[in-house]
Chains A and B, each alone.
Chain A
């Protein structure tokens, strides 16, 4: 064992390493001669080409089994998420702070809303049809051009006072801000049995805050998502589909205090009690309006 424990000097080790890198006696580089290196490289190239080919084949087969219109599984999207515009995130979720008297604090918010609503301009919605039905808009066939299905129009003007058309400041200026609530798309998802899903915003109960109930003006009226926007048939079938929106104009937000507003979607098949997901079926945000 003594031999194994012999401490080699650094220069010896370097010499050994150099010898390993290039051995002039046998013509070996890094333990192999050049031709050996070529052979082994060829083997590895071949091996990896074959393996990559096999993998590509597997992926190809996988893709062949995938339905282009409907995902195979939707078990992880049982209930749609809900998002809010404007969306400014603080340390813990959405936090919207602005000062009425300071324009700069809310122009970015209204700007977000405006650019979001740009997708809902009549020009953007030109390919969609007008729907008036109060029931689900089922389409089994591909009636629309290019083998697609029809999508219903949703234009910004449906949001009336919160459309930014009548009030470019979206109510931020007078302390009655508009928030736009969007429900996430899920292919072939039917939110409820008969009544259209409705947005309901309230103050979240804070133990030490005695607040008067939140007064909200919803657009479209009643804060409903009309059933004719459902079901969604997926991107390939409905390339021009745009989500229906609900705008909530909060009328009595106390100034100079931080309040928590919770907007739920009330529908038979939308759940908002998943403890892990704060955005499932509801959206919660902190709001502080300063004067």
Chain B
């Protein structure tokens, strides 16, 4: 029998040279590795998505007796109370994401810290009069603008609540991963081996990569990533409005250089996300505060990009629509004007898109930006990550209740199929929108003008879009 097993070993190793089950470098480890502590799940990356993933599993009843670890390279951020000034990094949280966060008690913390619900979203073109307005029939909250620090604080609190199940390793960066052979018939450890920067080792039955768009987990697993750097950077800042208002509308205008968005933070403050060319972004950062504020107001109010041709064509189309659908057009409203920018709140970061060809491997799953990266124009980035968490947690919970091996591809593939189906269409659509709105060419402007006006006049289509984006 030992000869049979030796042959099986050899054949097993050869069989693994092809196929999706191969991943990275393999060093078969003997039982020396038994010394490293074994976890059921290790989440690599303690950002919003990684922390939420660990917290969701930690609060799952079927994971009551399991051991979970969260690896975060940065230090622990203590924040029981928020500073008075708003942080410049905010996210638009969809109702679906809010539901996920409330499922393990984090949303209550967010509400007790601070957030701003918005009820309307107006999106319009700089090159024409075309615009589209999204709002719920019952004027319910469409989404919430929340500072990333607030979300992190809420997540940290909920992780503390399950500290007996979830061990958080701060200031710990994983530097190496060793993948197991899929169906081990030899004397090798079946678990994923993780080596930290300080030399400590961990073993895990399932590694979840939530380490951002430059994911090390994805790279080490040799999962192909389709990526593209946009020639755009996003400028963020915290702005103060000229006058207090019922600030419950999210505004976005598509300039030829890129979309500029104003997201409400309070009745007197809003957050800016302005995607534009790298040069313009640097210019905006370098300007004095007055010129910066003037650029913002002009970006929202000026009609310099209009052309008579497009205006006439747009007007004709609009009157045609109003014949067929009298309620189909609405008056374009103007966003509040900006008076001041918070000093020191201006920052910029480059934009890109990315999508991993595979989200899962034997004992590995990618979530959040590690799996997909999208342009901020649709406010979907972190919501896609939260959607990944909801789906993966659902499958892992069922697997745990079935006594299954958590790292088994069987349920990981179900997660991958479900999420890829959802994410690919959204990422592709956002990419198309980004490209479509990056031009001044008349035919494309006409196309998008008519397209936007038509979509605005069709409630069923708008409802579908809203439903898809709020999952």
Q: Do A and B come from one complex?
A: no
